[in-house]
Structure 1
């Protein structure tokens, strides 16, 4: 348990005087909840202090490896040492001062992961600024919202396409002094018009001692209890809120995760950076845990989430990996397709190896020789994925199905499920028990869990408290007060309970609960997963039934995705083709299955009349009935369904940047379809 202290500022010079544990202003520090033992007793530091110490400790080790030309598979790769990393961050900090970065204002980065992302981040923090990322898929309106909310005076953009978004809204942003473009081609106004710069031009400048002195002065004023990073929420129910994380919060989360996996975590890990760096998981896993341990980061190309990630894995051969569930689901789909196309002997051997491996990990009683033989087979999969050196894999950021965890455990690549939120600084809970596929595991050292207003079964809202908890939502006093209390408890909005062994189990979200006309509270994810488990052809399922007499469900069939645009294609995925073949159909296109036009891009999705064969309808209905046999109550049984005209994707609006379903958007988009179900 933590022992709160408000006197840290007297002992540690990097902690500024504060009057409250909560703040919604960039200029207002907070009190820190420093304990007397364990992780919560670690001495507070500013991120610049931590950065310089880490770089000095790992000076000669490789920090970054990146392709000189990501589009050329035969390109040379460049390695940056920690010593070079530190020099580049200092040069970037001087650049930012030169173009007008003001203290306690933000540097926003609108770019895919690259070394310059980190240079801009740590450069801004050394100059007593704040850093915030913007999803590259953001619209100009979203870009304007983040820049305005974060009080940005500098914005770093990836390329001409991202520059165009900022240029479109810059006149509405009086604080924004400079926009710096990383990669060409460059429009004529870059480098000639005031306020627009090329990164390479600024990076080549030599700055005088006066600016270096200013940087040193700025860095000396940075407080560990001041805001360092802004993480914008997904915005599924409105405009995104800016989660304020202080220097101490970010470093604490990296350190408690390190402590929680210290037995498998090693010095000089190798990892691959591909999740957007404006996501808290990527910030902690890539940026801060890597620094502490002298890890080497390989950068994936910008099409990583569209199918090229394995190419970088094969180059890097990472020793550790973090991925949202959808990343592992895509690997699973690819492996299933490869297995389906292999010879009968190979398929049988792999199925045997998976059965033996799963039993060995779950029961701990499997025969060692059998497991050794099975590992020779499953290792071929690891080699093919570039994960043969990967000792541990963490997944989180969205619900993780039991089936997905079983699949990777059967390949001798068990997933450690982590639970957390941006508002609690990242991860708070992790499951290290391979045999326990139901829970999220136990809290990290320094994190407390409380179930608020539990019912007779001990189920209620999950509340968390630690030194990693956010300061507040920037400029949102009322919204902060709704979820964060002065005693430090953050109300997550997630429902769950803690079992007799201290494991946390999540059952749903308060805001996403489907409340039927009969007053039954239904956690949708559980019901959706039951249906998906019965239908390997289904990619996405979304439960419907708010204020209705019964539940129904929206389903999308698996199709291939365009690797360049991310849009769903008409071509059926191999899982769907196999499912249809078992029913006697030889379809290869979704339009054939649904009897709709091949190109629906110009049509209103909700008004496209889907008319599948009666046999297909009957088979889906039978699968739903099978899922209903495992429902927790009669109220949780699904009565009707509708097939949608295409799979969910980011470009079509149903998925957010981290590939989570945008439930409110989907319900609004397909309102006409839903009304047809209930007629």
Structure 2
């Protein structure tokens, strides 16, 4: 560690703040006006990322920071070792020629090297740019060119080959670092992780400290790219203050512990290039001096539960796909249990749901028998997943269906939803033990503002937010930035929803998802799709279609097992779906048993359920006229789902254009 005591909050306060009037910028070296409220309850001092990291490294020097498993042994880094390696990486980036406000791309699965490279690039004055390992070479090229990438860090040869294909087009590229596997082909600008860190010896502490000291909280430190099926990608500029303020607001809103009272234990498996998981995994862990353990590369294919059982985290974050897998495992386990065990668990779950719903409205007294249910069912369930030490459970993908939320609530596992976009640093509102309401995204952060524009008769309208979590702007895209942030600094999210009387935020869809029928009537598909999933438990995903057409139709997928090796859906239905069919007196066990009208029992049930939904429709135009069951479930690999398993409507429309056209044939 450098001899002089580094950068404290007091030093940050003494930095001269920008005199820029604008709340936004599209320039890579631009500065923005921070959104401070005059009557703020708790106005946090603006900090840089380095301020936050060194504060924890100084106060919690010898506590475990990172854990990575190699073969059967955990490699652990303390906070002082973590900080020192970040400094080493920063120096090495400078040695490779990283320029101020230029990019360092990091492409690979979550690991200690990923985190160290990310923080090191920021310390060195560059932009850290997380790149999804599933991106194509062309997508990588677009990201690298837009961010003026000087260095690309990859985890293995597969990712390296993508860079090799495009490096001739990257005029700013000066070095490539591979941190996993043995490098198979030597070249002048290619470095192994250790050889890369060794470059740090040629850069002095004084030179690095000078760069760190020159950084301001209202300057950009990371770029997050949104690659969509429509139009060029947008580079979201996030400032130091965006990261540090949002992290502090998240910690304040939730129930984290710090040493020496206790140390949080977290497991990282969701892509860190997604800013939501990055905030919760990397930055919250640093803020509370938690121990962050990295899951195995095949975590989502089945080994996640092994890591959870070994590490036993105190907080767990899932996405809808993971919660579905966990629910399916529990339901299959339940079906295979003895008659007595099934009856006892059913009794416990009824009691658990009633108790938790009452607690949601302030009733804290536990009913008779709850302790027995907790010991024999609830605790047993948590231990099955390695979650017996968990105090908080989160869904990092908006909108779990009510059935899933109530299923886990019946097992005394309240899943907290949150709301955020990349443009608001991943988080704006969050549920907690102090603020929990089923089907809401919790309450907005303190010292932020949230308003709903042009609400309909139900109060649903465009959600706008204002706060220090709102991004700086889109890099080199002034017009798109002005469309997103108005002159008063309000960010127009494009999401639809409402704030209830208790200030809980509810999301009801997105402006871009609105379907305009040929009659001119506009339909928000979200609430209708949720109804379909609630009325037809065998259905996994629903996508309404009908843009510029005379009526609505629906694409349905059924719940199918997933190939643990590839992540692709199988033909076989889940245990829950098979049990559902059995209750209908259907013998179907596979998707192919049902599609193309082969199972009249299931098809009739779906048809009747759609009729019930249509009778409750708000208007004639909001009814589903035709529907079809697709011959496969959606998946991330096939492209229908995003990283948080959110449906990509534009992709679905393109992939299933033939099925959609059949709906409207005369």
Same fold (TM over 0.5): yes
| 1:357 paired residue number | 352
**Match in the other structure for 1:199:** 193
Which of 268, 285, 289 is matched with 1:290 structurally?
A: 285
Task: Indicate the residue corresponding to 2:303 in structure 1.
Answer: 308
Q: What's the offset of the Cα at 1:233?
A: 2.3
1:375 aligns with 2:386: no
Question: What SS does the aligned partner of 2:512 have?
Answer: coil
In the alignment, does 2:142 pair up with 1:132? Answer: no
Greater alpha carbon shift after TM alignment, 619-628 vs 348-357: 619-628
Q: Deviations over 1:173-201 (max 9, x none)?
A: 11111111111142222xxx122111122
Q: Is the 8 A contact 1:22 1:486 kept in 2?
A: no
What is the TM-score with the length of structure 2 in the denominator? 0.93
Mapped contact 1:24–1:471 kept (Cα < 8 A)? yes
Q: For residues 50-106 of structure 1, what are the alpha-carbon distances to aligned partners after superposition, in whole Å with 9 as ceiling and x for unaligned?
A: 21111111101100111113xxxxx11111110110111111112111222111111
Q: Paired residues, what number? A: 648
- Say yes or no: does 1:398 pair with 2:384: no
Deviation at 1:238, TM superposition (A): 3.3
Distance 1:403 1:14, change over 3 A: farther
State whether structure 2 residue 95 is matched by structure 1 residue 98: yes
> Cα 1:39–1:149, aligned 2, differ >3 Å: closer, same or farther?
farther
* TM-score calculated relative to the size of structure 1: 0.91
Match of 2:270 in 1: 275
- Secondary structure class of the residue paired with 2:452: strand
For 2:60 and 2:171, locate their aligned partners in 1 and report how far apart those are by CA, in whole Å: 41
Aligned to 1:33: 35
What is aligned with 2:4?
Answer: none
In 1: Cα distance, 2:529 partner to 2:191 partner:
49
Q: Tell me if the contact between 2:398 and 2:417 (Cα under 8 Å) persists in the aligned partners.
A: no
Question: Which of 260, 270, 281 does residue 253 from structure 2 map onto?
Answer: 260
Alignment partner, residue 528 of structure 1: 529
Change (3 A) 1:434 1:444: closer
- Equivalent residues in 2 for 1:485-504, closer than 5 Å: 485-504=486-505
1:373-452 correspondence runs (5 A): 373-376=372-375, 377-432=377-432, 436-452=437-453
- Which SS does the other structure have where 1:368 is aligned? coil
2:175 aligned partner: 178
Distance in 2 (alpha carbons) for counterparts of 1:86 and 1:645: 50
Whether the 8 Å contact between 2:220 and 2:240 is mirrored in structure 1 is yes
- Rounded Cα–Cα distance in structure 2 between residues aligned with 1:676 and 1:392: 46
SS in 1 for 2:428: strand
How far did residue 612 of structure 1 move?
2.7
> Equivalent of 1:43, from 31, 42, 45?
45
Question: Residues 438-492 of structure 1: CA distance to partner in whole angstroms, max 9, x if unpaired?
Answer: 3223211011001123345433100000011100011111111111113110001
Instruction: Report the aligned-residue RMSD.
Output: 2.2
Query: Counterpart of 1:78?
Result: 75
> Is 1:329 aligned to residue 324 of structure 2?
yes
What is the alpha-carbon distance in structure 1 between the residues aligned to residue 16 and residue 406 of structure 2? 46
**Which moved further from structure 2: 11-20 or 277-286?**
11-20
CA distance in 1, matches of 2:372, 2:446: 38
From the superposition, tell whether residues 643 and 508 of structure 1 become closer, same or farther in structure 2 (CA, over 3 Å): same
1:240 paired with 2:255, answer no
**Aligned-pair CA distance for 1:38:** 4.0
Match of 2:342 among 331, 347, 352: 347
Paired residues of 2:86 and 2:119 also in contact (CA < 8 A): yes
Following superposition, the deviation at residue 374 of structure 1 comes to 1.3
Inter-partner Cα distance in structure 2 for 1:635 and 1:508? 18
Cα distance in 1 between the residues matched to 2:144 and 2:153: 11
Task: Give the whole-Å Cα distance in 1 for the aligned partners of 2:418 and 2:247.
Answer: 13
The 1:59/1:629 distance shift into structure 2, 3 A limit, reads: farther
CA distance in 1, matches of 2:331, 2:448: 38
Which ranges of structure 1 fall in alignment gaps of 5 or more residues? 1-7, 70-74, 595-609
Q: Corresponding residue for 1:160?
A: 157
Residues 644 and 616 (structure 1 numbering): CA distance in 2 closer, same or farther, change over 3 Å?
same
Distance 1:40 1:225 in 2: 19
Task: Say if 1:226 and 1:247, in contact at 8 Å, map to a contact too.
Answer: yes
User: 1:518 and 1:40, CA in 2 relative to 1: closer, same or farther beyond 3 A?
Assistant: farther
1:337-360 deviations in whole A, cap 9, x for unaligned?
221222221111111111101111
2:90 counterpart of 1:89: no
Out of 598, 610, 616, the residue aligned to residue 612 of structure 1 is 598
Map of 1:107 onto structure 2: 104
